[in-house]
C-alpha cells in the first residue's frame, strides 16, 4: 500500500503530550497525580491505584474515562487535580515554532487533555500563536481518542476536510480512525534519550498499515515536509 504524502494537506492536526514536546518533561508529574487521585478517590493502595490507572488507560483511552464508567467519577474534579503540575520545566522551542509558522494552512491541537493544560504547554514552548484552536477532552464530550466520535466532533466543529489533513500523534492506535477517514498519519515515537518508561503497547504499531510516516524528530520532519513543498 502506498503511503500518503503532504502535497494536498491544508490542515495540520497535532496531539499535544509526547508529540509537541518530549514525554518525560511533564508526564511523570501527571502520572503521579493520577495515581494519587485514585488512592484517595477509591481508598486503595498505591500499587492497586497504579494497576487500575494503567488498565483503564489501555481499555478506555484515558484513566478518567475508566473511572467515569466504572466508578461514577466527577470529571471536573479529576481534570483540575491531575493537571496541577509545574509546566515551567518546559523551555521555549524556537526551531519548532519556525517550522509551524512556515507550514501552509491551518494548525490545530487535538488532545485528550484539557485546554488549560494545552495553553500552559504551548505558552511555555512559545508556540501558541501558531495554532488556530485547541480541541480538548471537554470539547470531545469526554469521549477520548481513539473513539471515533472524538474525531468526528473535532472535524465537524472546525470544518476540517480529513482528505486534506494530516494528523501527528504519539500512539499508533490513535491514528487508526484518522487514517480510515482519509488523513495522512504521522507517528511521533520517543527519541533515544527519552527518559520515561512506557508501556509495551504504547510503543507498538509503527509498522501498521494505517501509519504513513514515523519520526522521532518532529521539528526535523516538518522541515523535510517544507523542503519537499518548495
Averaged pLDDT of the chain: 93
pLDDT tens-digit map of 68-109:
999 999 999 999 999 999 999 999 999 999 999 999 999 999
Strand ranges across the sheet with 184-188: 133-135, 106-110, 11-14, 165-169, 184-188, 213-215
Tell me what the mean pLDDT of segment 109-137 comes to. 96
CATH number, domain 27-82: 1.10.150.450
Residue 70 CB-density burial (10 A; 0-12 exposed, 13-18 middle, 19+ buried) = middle
Beta bridge partners of 137: none
Q: Domain locations in the chain?
A: 11-21+91-229, 27-82
Q: Residue 175 above 60 pLDDT?
A: yes
Res 193: pLDDT = 65
Candidate CATH numbers 3.40.50.300, 3.90.1200.10, 3.40.50.1000, 3.40.50.2300; the one for domain 11-21+91-229: 3.40.50.1000
Amino acid at each position: 500500500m502506498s503511503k500518503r504524502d503532504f502535497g494536498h494537506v491544508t490542515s495540520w492536526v497535532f496531539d499535544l503530550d509526547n508529540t509537541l514536546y518530549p514525554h518525560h518533561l511533564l508526564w511523570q508529574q501527571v502520572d503521579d497525580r493520577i495515581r494519587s487521585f485514585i488512592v484517595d478517590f477509591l481508598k486503595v493502595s498505591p500499587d492497586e491505584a497504579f494497576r487500575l490507572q494503567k488498565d483503564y488507560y489501555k481499555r478506555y483511552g484515558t484513566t478518567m474515562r475508566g473511572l467515569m464508567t466504572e466508578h461514577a467519577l466527577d470529571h471536573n474534579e479529576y481534570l483540575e487535580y491531575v493537571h496541577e503540575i509545574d509546566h515551567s520545566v518546559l523551555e521555549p522551542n524556537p526551531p519548532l515554532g519556525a517550522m509551524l509558522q512556515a507550514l501552509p494552512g491551518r494548525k490545530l491541537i487535538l488532545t485528550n487533555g484539557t485546554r488549560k493544560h494545552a495553553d500552559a504547554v504551548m505558552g511555555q514552548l512559545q508556540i501558541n500563536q501558531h495554532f488556530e484552536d485547541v480541541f480538548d477532552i471537554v470539547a470531545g464530550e469526554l469521549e477520548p481518542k481513539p473513539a471515533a466520535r472524538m474525531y468526528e466532533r473535532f472535524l465537524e466543529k472546525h470544518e476540517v476536510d480529513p482528505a486534506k489533513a494530516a494528523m501527528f500523534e504519539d500512539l499508533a492506535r490513535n491514528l487508526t480512525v484518522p487514517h480510515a477517514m482519509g488523513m495522512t498519519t504521522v507517528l511521533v515515537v520517543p527519541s533515544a534519550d527519552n527518559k520515561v518508561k512506557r508501556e509495551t503497547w504504547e510503543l507498538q504499531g509503527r509498522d501498521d498499515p494505517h501509519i504513513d510516516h514515523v519520526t522521532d524528530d518532529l521539528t526535523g520532519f516538518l522541515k523535510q515536509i517544507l523542503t519537499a513543498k518548495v
